[in-house]
Each structure stands twice: as structure tokens, then as C-alpha cells.
Amino acid sequence: MMQISSDPASNKHSLIHVMHRFIAAANNMDETIMVPSLLRDVPLEEQAASEAEANNNINQPPCPNKQRDMYEHYLLLKSIKNDMEWGLLKREMSSGASFLEMAVKQEEQQQRVTGELPVDDNADLEHQFHYHLRGLFGVLSKLTMQADHLTNRYKREIGGGNFMR
């Protein structure tokens, strides 16, 4: 008979495990990047490739929602990590809108327009839960990869990959 661990964090498919991985990656990023201002005006690798394509196809306007440099991306990842650790109450007390709050409001508006999920909150709660759980897994996995990528890119940019953790 197969035994299931009672520690949810030990299950690599649990939400808690994925959350811990992102927070660990963001903490590692924060500990590694000692001078975040060095990230200013350093384009993201992905953005450099898309800008080269945009120069070939001038008819497409650039997307204003994307981070313009590594510094803005660093701030975004830190903000998301803080929202996860402290929740939205801390943000509400300081009267600033967090990235998480803006994303939730935008998603709610999009759902009303597209009709992806039922407007009635009590209708098919299990479907809503699984829909958001899948989305959360996907987003947290991508954020973890982005934090790791940003950390490694910072090490390459400052030339200290061998001297840092």
C-alpha cells in the first residue's frame, strides 16, 4: 500500500511546494542582487529578440504592459513575493494597489466580458477552484523560472558568476 506524506510541502505537486519554490527563488534573487540599480536599462533577453522582430514589422506597436528592463522585472518579482508573504491587507493599509490586486480585478473584468466562468459565485465552485489552481500553478512555475533567470543573468552581467552563491 502506498503511503502519502503528511507534510504537504514534501509533495512536489502541491500548491504549497510550488509557492515555496517561488519564494525561495525570489529570496535567492534578492540575496544575489546586491545592487539592483545595476539592472536599470539592461533589456531582458526575450525582449531584445522581440524588439528585433518588431523592427522588421513596424506596424505592430510595442506592448506597454511588458517590463522594459531587468530592474522593473526585479521589482515586479519582489512585489509578487511580498504580496504572497504578507497578503493584500498590508497593501490596503498603505493605500497602494498591488500587482496582485490589479491582476485579480483585470481577470474579473475579462471573465465578465468573455463569460469564461459563471457570474454566479455559487455555481460550479469546484470548476472555478480547479481553473484557478491550474492557473496559479502555471503562473508560479513561470515566476520561479523568471526569478532564477534574472539571478543568473545578473551574475553574468556583473561577471561574478563564480563568486556568488
Q: Report DSSP letters for 24-68, one per residue.
A: HHHHHHHHH-S-GGGGTT---HHHHHHHHHHHH-TTSPPPTTS-S
Q: CA 19, 9, 11 angle in degrees (round to 5)?
A: 105
Residue bearing cell 505537486: 13
Which residue ranges make up each domain of the chain?
16-53+61-158
Q: How far apart are CA 45 and CA 107, in angstroms?
A: 28
Q: What is the pLDDT of residue 159?
A: 73
Q: What is the pLDDT of residue 98?
A: 58
Q: pTM of the full predicted structure? A: 0.64
Grid cell, residue 9, equals 510541502
Other C-beta atoms lying within 10 Å of the C-beta of residue 103: 13
Q: What is the pLDDT of residue 49?
A: 47
pLDDT, tens digit only, all 165 positions of the chain? 445 555 655 678 899 999 999 999 999 999 999 999 888 888 877 544 445 454 454 444 444 455 578 999 999 999 999 999 988 766 556 655 655 566 666 667 776 766 655 455 566 899 999 999 999 999 999 999 999 999 999 998 887 545 444
